[in-house]
Amino acid sequence: MTGPTLTVSAPGKLMLLGEHAVVHGRPCLVTAVDSRLTMRLTLTNSADFSIHAPDVCVEHVQGRIADAFAGERALARGTRFIESALAVWRDRFGLSRGVQIATRSDFSSQLGLGSSSATVACVLFGLARLCAVNLDSRALFDLGLDAIRRVQQTGSGFDLAAAIYGGTLFYDNGEPRRDPRRIEPLDTPDLPLIVAYTGVKADTPTYVRRVGDRLANWPAAMTGIFDVMAQIALDGRIALEDADWPRLGQLMDIQHGLAHALGVDTLETVRLIFPARAAGAYGAKLSGAGGGDCIIVLAPDDRRTAITAALEASGGEIVSITPHAPGAREESEES
């Protein structure tokens, strides 16, 4: 027998400035995008959970709430972030009823737009409303970061912040000796971005480890790069709030060069970055951990057509998304 049902959604994200540095205690700029993950949650009178998530090849996986993410293992790879979020909620608030979860996504998990963080945000946001627990965005964020770290042990949380808060954020991961997360929503003008997929799904953990290995081998040099990235994020915030696109574009180019120094740039990324710049972009860079996924281009209005053509001619797949999207929210049953 089923009970109340709620449909919620959360956005994907694009990293504007600060890749990898944010993992090592520096700030970044991130924007939520209007491609969303939608989740339907239904409370039941059983002690079980069931998950139907065809976008990640999960077809009606079922287990007991008490065993969700038991021993840090999920029933299937595609269920691990949902199970971890259920386990965090169960451990914090209790969960005496079962829950049925079904998801659909506007964007492929291949694109690197933060589908796992959007999933966690939806589970916690939806349960808070179904269980009438009053949690603000920061409380949801703290729970979500716990859920993500149960799965992958690490995580700076910037993508989760974008999923919960939405908009465009200045996110400061800070120093581990103090509360490390400063989340500041920015009042920004519309970003003239073009987004293109490289055709290669990035293996984020591999590239995070690669940067960690370089940090261990060359601590002074790598720390210097992270410090420069921190300054770029601070300068980029000013340029973004002033809509100074030429200046922001230059900072994006510098950030991409530093990503190359970190060892996360690839041939697939480069073959899109340089044609975009040659076609008149203010700036262009990878967005995320590197190794593939998407690039972002800051484009003058009178060069958008030429830049888009250059990206497509170079093998890029244009991704139609808009930045500065709303965060986690309820949706009507018809949506």
Strands (E) in the chain, as ranges, are: 2-17, 27-44, 48-53, 58-64, 98-105, 168-172, 182-186, 193-197, 283-287, 294-298, 317-319, 329-331
pLDDT at 56: 72
Which pLDDT belongs to residue 332?
Answer: 83
- Per-residue model confidence (pLDDT) at position 40: 96
CATH class of 2-188+324-331: alpha beta
Q: Domain 193-319 class?
A: alpha beta
The residues spanned by each domain of the chain are 2-188+324-331, 193-319
Q: Give the per-residue pLDDT at 177.
A: 47
Does the global pTM surpass 0.85?
A: yes
pLDDT of residue 181: 79
pLDDT along the chain (335 residues), means of 10: 87 94 94 94 93 82 86 72 94 92 78 77 97 96 93 85 97 67 91 94 85 96 97 97 97 97 94 98 94 94 98 96 95 69
- Tell me what pLDDT residue 72 has: 64
pLDDT of residue 310: 98
